[in-house]
Amino acid sequence: MRALVTGGAGFIGSHVCERLLQSGYGEVICVDNFLTGSPENVAHLAGHSGFRLIEHDVIHGIDADGPLDVVLHLASPASPADYLRHPLETLRVGSEGTRHALELATTHGARFVFASTSETYGDPHVHPQPESYWGHVNPVGPRSCYDEAKRYAEAITMAYRRSRGTDTAIVRIFNTFGPRMRPGDGRVVPTLISQALAGVPLTVTGDGTQTRSLCYVDDLVDGLLRIVRSPLTGPVNLGNPLEVSMHELARWIRRLTGSTSPIVSLPLPVDDPKRRQPDISLAESELGWAPRTTVEDGLLQTIQWFTDTPCPRVLAPAAAATTTE
């Protein structure tokens, strides 16, 4: 079995490459342009005879020698800080990059799995969010470069399936966390952990009542590999149904790290979703999948990784912050 993973040196992508090799794939080709990924994420795989790392931007096309059994398309900036910094690159990888990945899979007769996102639901009016919900997205807001890139990518994936017979699947990934997250990528878990370990104020946007559903990366990757092996088309939600408020998460991380830092409030970003919770009944019934790692166990493992890995800490901004606790 041979697999190609776009965005394979990113946070989730590196775990996917690792798990594919562990599950018996003879070769895993990791393609990444390192815009937000890092070769350090897959450095431990460099000595594996079946692992190949290619530095390349998929918007310029993708090629692979020999047969391919699966193409997992994970390439894209995925945190608000990253896609707001790189809006055009985000739109291009979702459009041109997805088309090139689909062409590759079609040519090789490979299973194509597209890593979409819960952001396709926008700031949802339906709660929890089932796959049948069409979403509530601002198409011209600052987050639209990511939301609409993923929505377009889902559309072209289904068009290839209908018109070209490509074996495709769409996975909508909800907030995932774990080792190898970048402390400065703007997502809440690495930000709060870095701040807690540095002994600086923990920053929560808005009043902290907005919620997310946090899934540990090992569970998420297990779900991805199950859909690779299944005939399921999707879209299918992969995430943890446990809904956590951001203020509750900050207190949780403060307790687990032993931090005494105060929690401070910053202005809520434009179009930031108020609630986020997946309905995973489809994944449970069709894939036999549900997250097994508790959020607390996942946080402890992530905190340990941040403790053991030298990396810059994310400091709390002094301006415009209001102490809440």
State phi, psi for 145 to the nearest 5 degrees.
Answer: -60, -35
Say how many Å lie between the first and final Cα of the chain, rounded: 53
Beta pairing partners, 53: 30
Confirm if 200 and 315 have CB atoms less than 8 A apart.
yes
Q: Give the closest residue to 111 by CA, choosing from 243, 224, 206, 190.
A: 224
Q: Is the dihedral of CA 124, 129, 134, 137 positive or negative?
A: positive
Q: Is the dihedral of CA 172, 175, 178, 182 positive or negative?
A: positive
Place of tokens 């190949």: 52
Contacts of residue 43, defined as CB under 8 A and 6 or more positions apart, other chains included, come to none
Give the active site residue among 83, 121, 146, 160: 146
Catalytic residue check, 160? no
Buried b / exposed e over 135-172, threshold 16 CB at 10 Å, is bebeeeeebbbbbbbbbebbebbbebbeeeebbbbbbb
Helix (H), strand (E), coil (C) string for 205-247? ECCCCCEEECEEHHHHHHHHHHHHHCCCCCCEEECCCCEEEHH
Active site residues: 146
